[in-house]
């Protein structure tokens, strides 16, 4: 019996290149691009990115869903997703290196004063700043999953003091680890640059709020590369305007694309990027997902998302 697999993206997104890539990598299976008006195909697996709810209403024989990205909050919010269907996420697929690059860009731009040099160039001004004192720029990484761990270790390798905050205690060479709600205040108080790598769950929504951000060291700087739902935007704007924080590099937002006229667009202390910190690389994602499908078909049990935690 042919293995049937459906591939579904967000409305209007062309998934034909994904279907071709998966078909070439796994010729023993049949890959179907999602069609709102198409027939039931009897799919055992679905490969998705923000899929339509109708997928789970039509394809009732699904055993597992593979998400084409690290963040699965949009999928977890769908009541149509049956509880018995396993959810698997990409663990890296080329995203870790991109995320490290993004965070280092934000950190070095702030710590080395490259914003100041850009302003000086516009004024034709030659005025070197003092050499950076890395001890004055302690970095805190919220979330120590696969991507957060790589980021924390990369920053530590440059000689910056690095701490991580996670749900549970763990050992991470070169990184001081804080765990649980009780240790969050201490983690924030020792950090100047706060890097958010958390999954978005009911427990973490709005965690980047005034009460937490104002605990950062003087000259605090936020790098949010996780989800827009983590940040209380009005709180960050107020802290920037009050001089309580120095700046922010933001890749994710409550509303995407970021609407015209939003205060972040023109704020002199905010850098906006269009959700590009770590993009899914097709070749790596195809290899990872097909390997997991083959493992499941052979009776294996790849790691799945814990529905009660949301990651």
Where in the sequence numbering do the catalytic residues fall? Answer: 227, 275
Residues 107 and 154: beta-carbon distance below 8 Å:
no
**How far is 311 from 309, CA to CA, in rounded Å?**
6
162-166 and 139-142 as β-strands: parallel, antiparallel, unpaired?
Answer: parallel
Residues 230 and 198: beta-carbon distance below 8 Å:
yes
Residues 57 and 39: beta-carbon distance below 8 Å:
no
**How far is 230 from 201, CA to CA, in rounded Å?**
9
**In sequence order, which ranges of the chain are alpha helices (DSSP H)?**
16-25, 54-58, 73-76, 95-111, 114-122, 146-157, 184-189, 210-213, 233-241, 263-266, 282-297
Residue (of 237, 264, 70) closest to 151 by Cα position:
70
What does the block give as tokens for 309? Answer: 């935690």
Long-range contacts of 18-23 (CB under 8 A, 24+ apart): 18/47, 18/68, 18/282, 18/286, 21/282, 21/283, 21/286, 22/47, 22/286, 22/289, 22/290
What does the block give as tokens for 272? Answer: 């906006």
The Cα angle at residue 78 between residues 76 and 79, in degrees rounded to 5:
115
Give the 3-state secondary structure of residue 33: strand
Residues 6+ away with beta carbon under 8 Å from 227: 71, 73, 198, 199, 200, 252
């Amino acid at each position: 019996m042919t293995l049937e697999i459906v591939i579904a993206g967000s409305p209007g997104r062309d998934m034909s290149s994904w279907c071709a890539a998966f078909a070439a990598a796994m010729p023993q299976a049949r890959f179907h691009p999602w069609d709102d008006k198409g027939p039931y195909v009897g799919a055992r697996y679905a490969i998705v990115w923000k899929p339509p709810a109708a997928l789970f209403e039509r394809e009732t024989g699904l055993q597992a869903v593979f998400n084409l990205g690290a963040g699965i909050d949009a999928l977890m919010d769908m009541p149509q997703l049956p509880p018995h269907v396993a959810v698997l996420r990409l663990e890296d697929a080329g995203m870790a290196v991109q995320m490290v690059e993004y965070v280092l860009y934000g950190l070095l731009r702030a710590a080395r004063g490259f914003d100041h040099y850009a302003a000086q160039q516009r004024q034709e001004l030659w005025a070197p700043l003092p050499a950076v004192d890395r001890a004055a720029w302690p970095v805190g990484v919220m979330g120590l999953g696969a991507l957060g761990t790589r980021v924390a270790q990369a920053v530590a390798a440059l000689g910056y003091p690095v701490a991580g905050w996670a749900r549970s205690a763990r050992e991470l060479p070169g990184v001081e680890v804080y765990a649980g709600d009780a240790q969050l205040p201490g983690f924030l108080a020792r950090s100047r640059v706060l890097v958010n790598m958390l999954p978005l769950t009911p427990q973490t929504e709005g965690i980047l709020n005034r009460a937490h951000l104002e605990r950062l060291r003087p000259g605090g700087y936020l790098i949010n590369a996780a989800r827009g739902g983590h940040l209380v935007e009005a709180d960050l704007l107020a802290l920037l305007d009050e001089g309580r924080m120095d700046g922010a590099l933001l890749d994710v937002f409550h509303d995407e694309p970021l609407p015209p006229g939003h205060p972040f667009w023109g704020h002199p202390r905010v850098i906006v990027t269009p959700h590009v910190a770590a993009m899914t690389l097709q070749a790596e994602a195809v290899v990872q997902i097909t390997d997991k499908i083959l493992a499941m078909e052979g009776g294996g049990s790849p790691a799945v998302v814990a529905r009660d935690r949301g990651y």
